[in-house]
Chain A
C-alpha cells in the first residue's frame, strides 16, 4: 500500500509539469516569427515544454496505478491552480478575488474527492 504523501507528491509533479509544460509550449510558439518546422526544432522553450508534457503524462499514468480513474482524473484539475500560481509569480499577472476563490474551490474539490 502506497501512502498518502507519495500519492500527493505524484499528483503535484503531474499537475505542475502539465501546467508549466503548456506555458512553455505557448511561450515557444509565441516567440516564433513564423510557423516552420526548422524554427520549432530550434526553440528551447518547445523542448522544455515537450519534456515537461511527457513527464506529466508518465506521472499521470503512475497516479492511475494507485487511484481510481474517477478520482485521479478530476484531481488533475490542480493543473489550473498551478497555471494561476505560475502566471502570478512568473508573468506578473494580477491575482483577483475571483481567481483566488476559484483556486480554493478546486483545492476543496480535490480534497473532497480524495476522501
Chain B
C-alpha cells in the first residue's frame, strides 16, 4: 500500500475513533442525567445511553479496520477529557486540578497500553 493511501485510511480511522469516543462520553452523560432523575424519564435516558455506548463500540471496531490500534485505541481515552468539558457545560460540574491531572495520567497509561497492543500483533 502506498504511503498516501495509508495516510488517508488512517485519517478515516481517526475520524471514526473520535466519533466513538464522543458517543461513549455522551452515552455516560445520558446515564448521568438518568441517574439524577426518576421514572420514565430516567428509563428513556438509560436506553439512550445504552444505544450511544453500543454505537460507540461499533465505531471503534470499524475504526480499527483503517489504522493501527496503537494510534487509534488511546484516542478513545480522549472521551475522558471530553467528559470534563461536557460535565462543566451540562451539569455545572467543577473543573478541578485533580480531574485534569488524573485524566492526564489515565490518557498516558492508555497510550502505553496502545503501543503494547500494537507490538503484539506485529
* Distance between Cα atoms of A115 and B108 in the complex (Å): 19
Q: Are B46 and A61 neighbours in the complex by a CB distance under 8 Å?
A: yes
User: How far, in angstroms, from A96 to B117 measured CA to CA in the complex?
Assistant: 11
CB-defined contacts of A114 to chain B, threshold 8 Å: 102
Q: Is A115 a contact partner of B53 (Cβ separation < 8 A)?
A: no
The one of A69, A74, A109 in contact with B91, judged by C-beta atoms closer than 8 angstroms, is A69
Instruction: State which of B36, B83, B98, B112 has its C-beta within 8 Å of the C-beta of A73.
Output: B83
Interface size counted on chain A using CB atoms at 8 A: 35
B109: chain A residues within 8 A (beta carbon): 77, 80, 101-106, 109
Select which of B95, B102, B112 is within 8 A of A74 by beta carbon: B102
Q: A111: CB under 8 A from chain B?
A: yes
Q: Is the interface of B mostly helix, strand, loop or mixed?
A: helix
Which of A70, A102, A109, A110 interacts with B84 by CB under 8 Å?
A70
Q: Is A38 an interface residue (CB 8 A)?
A: no
Cβ-based interface call for B86 (8 A): yes
Identify the interface centre among B31, B84, B115: most chain A CB within 10 Å of its CB: B31
- A residues contacting B by CB (< 8 A) are 57, 60-62, 64-65, 68-74, 76-77, 80, 84, 93, 96, 98-99, 101-106, 108-115
